Amino acid sequence: MNRNIISLVVLTVTLVAVCSAAATTHANWLNEEVTRSIDLTSQLAKQTVDIKAKNTASTAASSYTFALHSSTEHASLQAFIDGDSQQLEIIKSSAKTHNQQTYNLYDVQLRKTVGAGSIVGMGQQHPYPTHVGQISNQLVTFKENTYFSSPYDTVSQKTTLKLASSKIENHSTLTPSIVKGSSIVYGPYKDIAPLSYHQLSVHFENNSPFVMLNSLTKEYEVSHWGNVAVETNYAVEHRGAALKGSFSRFDYQRQQHASPAHVAEIVERVPLGAADFYYRDYIGNISTSQYFHHADRLDFKITPRFPLFGGWKNEFYTGYNLPSSSVLFVDDKSGRYVLNATFGVGIADIYAVHHQLIVVLPEGASDIQVSAPFQFTREDSLRKTFLDTVGRPVIVLRRDWTSIEQTQTLQISYSMAAFSILHEPLLAIGAVFTLCVMFMVGSRLDFSLIRKGPKIARAPEVDKLAQQFFALFESRLQYHIEIEQALQDLSRSGSSTAYQTSKQAIESRYKDAAAINKLIQSISTIDPVFSARLKDLSDQDTQITQIQSQIADLEKQKSSKSKYMTTYRKSYDDATYSLDQIFN
């Protein structure tokens, strides 16, 4: 709460200071000769004002104040000293009401007494009638102050209006005023008091493109690998007289120049060295575009898929790549990186209501500073794109109501460690290495489905006997397979005599059962634990034989044997498994 009160007090004091400063400087100047020319050939009202003023005070003045009548609501201002290309700083001071007319005051920080300035009024010409047909001409109205709005006395002043055509419906008069073709000259007027007002209004034909940008977003994506990618998003609106009735493609194709106020193409100015142009619709359609070389720039001409008529809107984006050598530098003293970016509308005779510049710096950039010769708002954020970990620093600069006349270069400087450039390749290398490590780990793991028992160390003589046992038991398993075959034959033929004969034949070939028992006996004297396990195995073998004879009996009686079949399968599998367990 306390804090609020303090800041409020400070603010009031500052305001008073500004007001008193303005009050003291007002009377100092005398405008000796003011020549104003207002160019209304495009949708913008471009005023060039040449002011010859004299400081009548005894002390040197540091600023010159000029006023803009409230009819010029949105304007971009520039001020120069005669013969000097460097712009002067303009500070908006306050609004002043005089004889029911409101004026916005601006202070120009000066060094000399002779000045010139330009004012670009945006959205100051209004279509009237507001709706016209497809092949009708567009008429607009323009209102301003006939006098040069100035808080000082003016000795002599003259205003020339340059119109887009000589078709003038009507215009206000204030003697002396004269119409010469497409120009109207007001003045010269002598000895005009400060902030005098007389309304100037013209109603004339203006078929120049009345296109404005509701929003203009220009994005610089900086890469230290030699590229700065520039992408511009446009939200265009034709703010001229709205199209009356429906659009006829037939009429349009037959006579394109019969629709004077429409916009079929837009030319964007692009710096030299730009390459890899693209132009896409908001929904991704690629449309026609061409570029032309000039000595100092490239012109990138884009033809949207449909022409723009009054009230119509279009959204699209264009882009190109700039080599980093043309815009990215290193300050040789501080070692900081500096990006030269252009802030402003790249299209002639158009203005942007909301303009923002987005600069995406490489990952690792820090201590970002913007130096610009104008006022802007700044916002910082982070963006993650390809191969980013913490995200790239993004700065967004905003400025409203701007036109090509205000296009200015600003510098964005930042510090970055030299090895940060290797961040992305190292990430790619790391990804492949991780893959290799996963492969190494994977090939060390065992994914086989059979569980292997622990290997038991055995005495060499036991091992020899065990080898014999293994061979014998394998032949026992083979014996069981053959008996099983005979059982299947029995089940098919039903002949028990045939079964008996084949069983005897098989038994005569395999006479191992007794040998197995003998082997177990001899092993038990050396390694009783191992022989016990072999005994179990041999018991399983006997069990299998028993089940086989039971199945044979059932087969002879022609009764169901399914219960025994499952028991048989299980004991056979158990026996083979146990054998694997013992001998692997």
Partner 1 sequence: MVTLFNRIIMYSPVDPSLYPFFAFLFLVVGFAFLASFIVYEISAGSGKSKRNIVQEVLHALVASCTLGMGGFFVLLASGIYL
Q: Scanning residues 202 to 221, which ones bind partner 1 (CB under 8 A)?
A: 221
Helix (H) or strand (E) holding 151: none
Number of shown-chain residues binding partner 1 (CB under 8 A): 44
The stretch among 153-161, 425-433, 513-521, 550-558 that binds partner 1 (CB under 8 A) is: 425-433
Judged by CB under 8 A, which of 386, 450, 457, 562 binds partner 1?
386
The stretch among 118-126, 224-232, 472-480, 530-538 that binds partner 1 (CB under 8 A) is: 224-232
Say if residues 261 and 207 touch (Cβ distance below 8 Å). yes
The stretch among 1-9, 81-89, 196-204, 332-340 that binds partner 1 (CB under 8 A) is: 332-340
Judged by CB under 8 A, which of 229, 264, 353, 513 binds partner 1?
229
When the beta carbons of 107 and 221 are compared against partner 1, the nearer one is: 221
Whether the bond between 129 and the residue before it is cis, its omega within 30 degrees of 0, is yes
- Side by side, the strands of the sheet bearing 101-109 are 63-69, 101-109, 90-98
DSSP, residue by residue, 332-351: TTT--EEEEEEES--BTT-E
According to the binding rule CB under 8 A, does residue 565 interact with partner 1? no
Least Å from the CB of residue 583 to partner 1? 20
Decide the pairing of beta strands 242-243 and 131-132. parallel
Least Å from the CB of residue 383 to partner 1? 13
Place of tokens 């709005």: 149
Kindly state the tokens that stand for 380. 């910082």
Least Å from the CB of residue 330 to partner 1? 4
C-alpha closest to that of 238 among 282, 258, 208: 208
The stretch among 113-121, 316-324, 466-474, 506-514 that binds partner 1 (CB under 8 A) is: 316-324
Which string of b and e fits 514-523 if b means at least 16 CB within 10 Å?
eebeebbeeb
Say if residues 546 and 564 touch (Cβ distance below 8 Å). no
Phi, psi of 361 (to 5 degrees): -95, 160
Q: Scanning residues 275 to 294, which ones bind partner 1 (CB under 8 A)?
A: 276
According to the binding rule CB under 8 A, does residue 227 interact with partner 1? yes
Amino acid at 409: T
According to the binding rule CB under 8 A, does residue 390 interact with partner 1? no
According to the binding rule CB under 8 A, does residue 223 interact with partner 1? yes
Say if residues 368 and 361 touch (Cβ distance below 8 Å). yes
According to the binding rule CB under 8 A, does residue 411 interact with partner 1? yes
The stretch among 245-253, 323-331, 399-407, 570-578 that binds partner 1 (CB under 8 A) is: 323-331
Residue 524: how many other CB atoms lie within 10 Å: 15
According to the binding rule CB under 8 A, does residue 48 interact with partner 1? no
According to the binding rule CB under 8 A, does residue 443 interact with partner 1? yes
The stretch among 44-52, 142-150, 420-428, 513-521 that binds partner 1 (CB under 8 A) is: 420-428
When the beta carbons of 258 and 422 are compared against partner 1, the nearer one is: 422
- Side by side, the strands of the sheet bearing 45-55 are 74-81, 114-122, 45-55, 29-40, 153-163, 183-192, 177-180
Task: Quote the CA–CA distance of 72 and 374 in Å, as a whole number.
Answer: 20
The stretch among 15-23, 111-119, 190-198, 317-325 that binds partner 1 (CB under 8 A) is: 317-325
Least Å from the CB of residue 77 to partner 1? 23
Say if residues 223 and 217 touch (Cβ distance below 8 Å). no
- Please name every residue paired with 105 in a beta bridge, in sequence order, or none if there are none: 67
According to the binding rule CB under 8 A, does residue 439 interact with partner 1? yes
According to the binding rule CB under 8 A, does residue 352 interact with partner 1? no
**Which residues of this chain interact with partner 1, rule CB under 8 A?**
221, 223-227, 229, 276, 321, 323-325, 328-333, 337-338, 340, 371, 386-387, 411, 413, 421, 424-426, 428-433, 435-437, 439-440, 443-444, 446
